[in-house]
Structure 1
Amino acid sequence: MKRVKAAGRAALVLALCVGVTACSRTPDLMNTQRGQDTPDEFAILPNKPIQQPENYRDLPPPTPGGSNRADATPFKDAVAALGGSPDRLNRTGEIRGEPGLIGHVTRFGLGRDIRTILAKEDYEYRKRNDGRLLERLFNVNVYYKAYRPQSLDQEAELARFRRAGAATPSAPPSGEFQ
């Protein structure tokens, strides 16, 4: 009788463990939503300031569903911030001109579905490095542990650049890391 009770308890514990681990979900390594009860300040995208035109007759006609001069243009803003010419971007965001740059960047081929491929590979990697049972159960952040093999040692790279004679003006002074 004792054996039957012990076997019953063991089966119950085993079923409970299988039930908890069988709950499949997308691996969430970073847990950015954990404990967040305030607004996300990065979700707010400010518009450009509204400008008073010199002459209202010179305004372009409105285009329903189109853009206006106060809309945010993050791609053009990024190109301008990096020293490029935002006027060279067409409506799809592809760069026109610059054949030397485009030729160099696409010299090993151009995969149009690279985002899909990377998303799939990253999902598989996150599934393999999803953390242990208790880490998943208590929603512990395992992002940095999972991606540690792919991380860069900042101090070693800075020392390597300085030994090579490269200028590192935005890095801390030499004695800071020692």
Structure 2
Amino acid sequence: MGAGDLNMKKSWHPMLHSNQEKVWLQEQEAIKERKRWEELRKEREHERQMQELQRIHEEAGGKKRVERVEWMYATPAAKGEPSEAELEDYLLGKKRVDKLLQGNEMQQLSRTADVGKADAGDAMSQRDMATKIREDPLLAIKQQEQAVYEMLMKDPTRLRQMRAKMGLEPDRSERRHRHPQQPL
């Protein structure tokens, strides 16, 4: 084909410089993506090896690692009081009672020193609960539904329309009497 090749004027022709550039850019993106996947694979392999070493260490009698998320949902411990973990350690015999009692004595001394101060933990939890209630999306939706329902109940024309649609319109004979007859 000569210099006057009409295919060179087509946007899809593979010999056009712009199309070759697009292909090259796509190939470069694919190479970067492969490198990212390879890096992630290496990270996961490293994590697996670390977990395996940790497991071997635990089996050999080392300190056991706790992999739980309950700490995220637990309420913060009050100041001075032993935490749930400390109490559990005491029950399992890992901690001594005299240290726990000594901690309670120190706590009582610190409480007598802070007589005039309000309990900050309690105030924080109340504020936290108020914030959670105020920002709760489900509660906001329910409040909106309640407001719409109350507006509907206040509007007599809409209420009449809804009753007519549902077939709950009272008979004309019943509407004439102020005091409908009660069934015996």
TM-score tier after normalising by the smaller chain length: under 0.3
Q: Which has the higher helix share?
A: 2
Whichever of the two has the greater Rg, that structure is 2
Give the structure-2-normalised TM-score: 0.22
Give the structure-1-normalised TM-score: 0.22
